[in-house]
Amino acid sequence: MKKRIFLLGATGSIGTSTLEVIKKYPEHFELVGVSANSNLKKLESIIREFKPRYAVLTKDHSFKDSDFCKVLVGEKGYEEVIFSKDIDVIVIAISGIAGLYPTIKAIESKKRVVSANKESLVAAGDLVLSYLEKYNQNIIPVDSEHNAIFNLFSRIEKSFINKIILTASGGPFLRKDITEKTSIDEVLSHPTWNMGNYITVNSATMMNKGFEVIEAHYLFKLDYDKIDVLVHPQSLVHGIVETIDGTNFMVASPNDMKFPIALALFYPEIPEKKFKTIKLDEKPLEFFKVDQKNFPLLDFCYEMGRQGGLSTTVLNAVNEYFVDIFLKGKIKFSELAKTIIKTTEKFINLNKPQSHYSLDDVFTIDREVRTFCEKI
Ligand code: NDP
Ligand code: MG
C-alpha cells in the first residue's frame, strides 16, 4: 500500500527535494497534504501538480479551496491533517521554531515522523524527548549527518558505540577570511549544498554544525563528549560512528538531500537507485579539525548544550533574530557570531533559564528573547 504523506514546509528547499523523491517513487508514496507559509505561487503550482487533499497555511491569505483540495489555517489546520485517517507519514520540512508545534502534534498522532527541523530539538530537546517517550515514538531524521548516524545506529548495538562524528563542509569561509566587507552574496554562496537562506547563513557561521551537535545529543541520547565534528570539504561522507574497537563506520552519498529524504521515507528498507550517485574515485576525501577561532559558535553550542534546559531555546531565538537582521542587511556578517554570543549570555545572566519547562514556556521564552534582541 502507498504511504500517504503530509509534507509541512512543502514550498522550501527540503520540501522541494521531498516532492522530487515522491515523484520518483509513485508506487510507494502519495502526497495527501501540504503546508506553506508565504510562497503562495509555489503552493499553487504544487497543488496543481500533485492534487493533495489538504493545504494548510500559517495565516489566512484568502487562498481558496479547489474541487479536490481543502484549505485550512494555522495550528487547527495542522492538527486536522496530522490526525486525519488519510495520513500515514508526517514530514516536517518547516524551518525554525515554527516546526516545534507540528512536531509535537505529529508525535502525539503516533504516525511515522520524518523531520528535517533541527530547531525544534535545539529549542526544546528535553520536551520533544519526553513526548517521544510518552508516545513510544521516534523521529526519523532527514538532516544528512543524523540520517547517516541513524542508519548506522539501527544496525550497530549501542553498547558497541564509542562516539559519533558529524562532518562539516566548512562553508564559504573555510579558506577565505571574514572581513567587514563580507557580503550577503558571499555568505549565501555555499560551496557544496544548495539550501534555504537561514540554514545557509548558519552554515557560514558554523552555527548549523553546533545546532546539529545539540540535535544529535537528543536524537541519539549521547553525552556531548561523545559527539565530535570534523571538517570534510567534499561533503560526501555525512556521518561516522566509531565503535569501541576503534573501527569507523562511515556513510557516503552525494551532497544531495534527496538521498537522506528517500532513506528516511523508506526506512528500514533501502530504495532502488533513482538519483545520480557519487564516484569515489573522482576526488580525494579530506578530513580535518575545525578552526575554533574562526567559528566560535560551534564551541558556544557545546557550552549551551551542556548547560541544558532553556539555554538552547534562548540561543535558537537569538540566532533566528540576528540571522534575519543580517539577511535584511542591518548587521555585518563579521559582527554576527559575536553579537549572538554576547546577546545570549546577557539574556541568560538576566533570566536564569529553568531546567524543567512546558511547550508554553518555550514559546514565552522565544518571544521574550526576540523583544530583548529588538532593544539591542
Ligand atoms: P526553506 O527556507 O527553504 O523552507 C522553509 C519552509 O518552511 C518553507 O516551506 C516555508 O514556507 C516554511 N515556513 C517558514 N516559516 C514558517 C512559519 N513561520 N510557519 C510555517 N511554515 C514556515 O528551509 P529549508 O528547506 O532549507 O530547511 C527546512 C528545515 O530543514 C530547517 O529546519 C533546516 O535546518 C533543515 N535542514 C535543511 C537542509 C537543506 O538542505 N535545506 C539540510 C538539513 C536540514 P514558505 O516558503 O511558503 O514561506
Ligand atoms: Mg546537516
Across-strand partners of 251?
Answer: 239
In angstroms, the Cα distances linking 61 to 38, 44, 97 are 9, 13, 21
Task: Give residues (CB < 6 A) around ligand 1.
Answer: 9-15, 36-39, 58, 93-96, 98-99, 116-119, 143, 193, 195-196, 198-199, 257
Residue 89 dihedral angles phi and psi, to the nearest 5°: -130, 135
- Distance (angstroms) between ligand 2 centre and the Cα of 2 equals 28
CA max distance for the chain: 60
Distance, CA of 75 to chain centre: 20
Burial class (CB in 10 A: 0-12, 13-18, 19+), 374: exposed
Interatomic CA distance for residues 178 and 333, integer angstroms: 8
Task: Walk along the chain (376 residues) and give the pLDDT tens digit of each residue.
Answer: 999 999 999 999 999 999 999 999 999 999 999 999 999 999 999 999 999 999 999 998 788 888 899 999 999 999 999 999 999 999 999 999 999 999 999 999 999 999 999 999 999 999 999 999 999 999 999 999 999 999 999 999 999 999 999 999 999 999 999 999 999 999 999 899 888 999 999 999 999 999 999 999 999 999 999 999 999 999 999 999 999 999 999 999 999 999 999 999 999 999 999 999 998 998 899 999 999 888 999 999 999 999 999 999 999 999 999 999 999 999 999 999 999 999 999 999 998 877 789 999 999 999 999 999 999 8
> In this structure, what C-alpha cell is assigned to residue 203?
552554515
Give me the pLDDT at residue 3, please: 98
Interatomic CA distance for residues 216 and 238, integer angstroms: 13
In b/e form, how buried is each residue of 144-157, taking b as 16+ CB within 10 angstroms? Answer: bbbbbbbbbbeeee
The closest residue, in CA terms, to atom 43 on ligand 1 is 143
Q: Are residues 9 and 99 in contact, defined by beta-carbon separation less than 8 angstroms?
A: yes
Express each pLDDT in 195-205 by its tens digit.
899 999 999 99
Q: Which of 284, 301, 280, 281 is nearest to 292 (CA)?
A: 301
Express each pLDDT in 51-84 by its tens digit.
999 999 999 878 888 889 999 999 999 999 999 9
What residue has cell string 575554533? 292
Give the dihedral sign, CA 76/79/85/88: positive
Express each pLDDT in 329-369 by its tens digit.
999 999 999 999 999 999 999 988 777 899 999 999 999 99
Give SS3 for 314: helix
Give me the pLDDT at residue 62, please: 81
- Distance (angstroms) between ligand 2 centre and the Cα of 23 equals 23
Give me the pLDDT at residue 76, please: 97
- Distance (angstroms) between ligand 1 centre and the Cα of 12 equals 5
Q: What angle do CA 116, 23, 45 make, to 5 degrees?
A: 85
